[in-house]
Structure 1
Amino acid sequence: MTDDLNYEQARDELAEVVARLEAGGLSLEDSLGLWERGEALAKLCERHLAGARERVESALASVESE
């Protein structure tokens, strides 16, 4: 499952998935499985980054309103 990974864990695993896919030599089934895992990890990273962006924007807005 991906949801229990923090951003750094998801990013690092995604990098490993990409490296394995780029290295080649995998069966089609293994490649598809890795691709699907990579897609899930990329979406999780995007959610983490969106949350961080919201926190920064909220913090900036509160500073500006003071």
Structure 2
Amino acid sequence: MVQRAHRQRTYGGHPGMYGEGPSEPAVHVAAVFKASGAREGFSVMATDGFPRTGRRTCRRYGAGGDEE
């Protein structure tokens, strides 16, 4: 509840902070999932462990992830 209120204040005060639409990587991943027939996706969080865990998740779901 507190986090949601914080996000609402932050985005409300800075509506252009994250752009007007999805990022190019998000559009690409959505296309990969759609082309593979995937019906569910996964959330990507910005964490220090993403390079390792992100590649593993991408490989598991057939989205590549072999790039360093």
> Aligning the two structures, in what range does the TM-score lie when normalised by the shorter sequence?
under 0.3
Larger relative contact order (Cα-Cα within 8 Å, sequence gap ≥ 6): 1
Which is helix-richer, 1 or 2?
A: 1
TM-score (norm 2): 0.25
